[in-house]
Amino acid sequence: MRPPPALALAALCLLALPAAAAAAYFGLTGREVLTPFPGLGTATAPAQGGAHLKQCDLLKLSRRQKQLCRREPGLAETLQDAAHLSLLECQFQFRHERWNCSLEGRTGLLKRGFKETAFLYAVSSAALTHTLARACSAGRMERCTCDDSPGLESRQAWQWGVCGDNLKYSTKFLSNFLGPKRGSKDLRARVDAHNTHVGIKAVKSGLRTTCKCHGVSGSCAVRTCWKQLSPFRETGQALKLRYDSAVKVSSATNEALGRLELWAPVRPGSPAKGLAPRPGDLVYMEDSPSFCRPSKYSPGTAGRVCSREASCSSLCCGRGYDTQSRLVAFSCHCQVQWCCYVECQQCVQEELVYTCKH
């Protein structure tokens, strides 16, 4: 077994989190300092800084990452937010797939080189880049604030105003957090690092400059502009498309540089030896399992709700589906009443629900 690279730890921290620290995110961990009689002053509340250090200890981080976490108040919370965001987005993007991103107790995927692994790495780093840039502009971090990049167009009659999302800080922080990029001999580490950067790139390419005009009715004498990230849903969508067209790679040693490079296989008929994957491509090393049956990678598709016209045959893997009927209430026989509202009756309709057989 090779030692887990720092990158794997980062993804693990982000994705295995729901088990360990999501409890901290959503509510009680069981380790809180109890104040059984508030107002009587029996318990001493922990200092702000102390709480922050404790949060860092609860996260699954490498030693170096834990140090960075402890040094930067606000970071632990941002890491948890990012973990939550990446999981939600993954589950949304894969809601119609056989693998629906249910990672509960099934983090085996993170140690493999499937297309799904590639997506997980990319969506984790994208979520952290996004969340951190937002946390800076929202004033939740101590060491960063609004985006202060000078605009190329700054000679025009507009000024930077409003707090912009600080992508510059967040990408710089992330590359430090993930550790130095060594010329690794390990294909897996190369693939993970590549996919991590696809995620960061996806957030970067969603950065927009938004402007607002000021001045006498539309004269736009002064414009205020700021950098704004696109909603994370759009980034998730972009990464899902990358997943759909992910490129299978193998390795080749670059003799001149003396290190390992990623190579995508040639298309049939092409004379070239191999192509380096494009920087925006998600890359993977091994074909995915079918995800039909429960395994260490997925709970299988038994019990999944499907659409008879669209998805049942592929989602249920040929095992067939059960049909249940349920009653759904809806508004009907609506009439406009004098004056001026609409009155409806409640009707009940039978609806069929299809679920994959065991």
User: Could you say whether residue 304 binds ligand NAG (CB under 6 A)?
Assistant: yes
Closest CA to 195 of 95, 136, 123, 139: 123
Site for ligand NAG in 16-35 (CB under 6 A): none
The 10 Å Cβ neighbour count of residue 312 is 18
Instruction: Determine if 4 is a binding residue for ligand NAG (CB under 6 A).
Output: no
Please report how close the Cβ of residue 13 comes to ligand NAG at its closest, in angstroms. 20
Q: Which residue stretch of 28-36, 263-271, 296-304, 340-348 sits at the interface with ligand NAG (rule: CB under 6 A)?
A: 296-304
Task: Indicate which single residue of 50, 303, 324, 330 sits in contact with ligand NAG (rule: CB under 6 A).
Answer: 303
**Closest-CB residue for ligand NAG?**
100
The smaller minimum CB distance to ligand NAG, of residues 31 and 96, is found at: 96
Pick the closer one to ligand NAG by CB: 183 or 294.
294
Among 62, 78, 80, 100, binds ligand NAG (CB under 6 A): 100
Pattern 60-99, ligand NAG, x by CB under 6 A: -------------------------------x--------
In the complex, minimum distance from the CB of residue 298 to ligand NAG, in angstroms, rounded to a whole number: 7
Give me the least distance between CB of 296 and ligand NAG, in Å please: 14
Span from 185-193, 210-218, 301-309, 340-348 in contact with ligand NAG (CB under 6 A) = 301-309
- How many residues interact with ligand NAG (rule CB under 6 A)? 8
Task: Report the distance separating Cα 336 and Cα 309, nearest Å.
Answer: 36
Taking each helix axis from N to C end, the angle separating 232-244 and 187-204, rounded to the nearest 10 degrees, works out to: 140
- For ligand NAG, the binding residues in 36-55 under the rule CB under 6 A are none
Binding region for ligand NAG (CB under 6 A) out of 50-58, 156-164, 239-247, 295-303: 295-303
- How far apart are CB 300 and ligand NAG at their closest, in Å? 6
Which of 4, 151, 161, 299 is close enough to bind ligand NAG by CB under 6 A? 299
Report the nearest approach of ligand NAG to the CB of residue 356 (Å): 8
Which residues contact ligand NAG by CB under 6 A?
A: 91, 100, 102, 299-301, 303-304
